[in-house]
Amino acid sequence: MGQTNIIECSRCSGLLLAAGDKKTRTCPYCGARIDTKSARKLASAEDAFTASEVLRELKKQKGFNRTQL
């Protein structure tokens, strides 16, 4: 596992992880195919584990889990 980026889906604004060497990624929320190079990158981490931790924090900040409160 190498560098992993946290990117935003251009269609639904969902946050997802993309390995640094991947050119495209399918959004797990809306199914859109995302070009990882042109997608908005919110953060990056040295490995997938750290990236998932960061992703969780970003989702919290974005209020993605609001419905669970």
Name the residues that contact Zn ion, by CB under 5 A: 9, 11-12, 14, 27, 29-30, 32
Based on CB atoms, which residue is closest to Zn ion, 31 or 60?
Answer: 31
Q: Which of residues 31 and 46 has its CB atom nearest to Zn ion in the complex? A: 31
Nearer to Zn ion, 1 or 30 (CB): 30
Nearest-CA neighbor of 16 among 59, 46, 47, 49?
A: 59
Least CB distance to Zn ion at residue 46 (A):
25
Rounded to an integer, what distance in angstroms lies between the CA atom of residue 4 and that of residue 11? 21
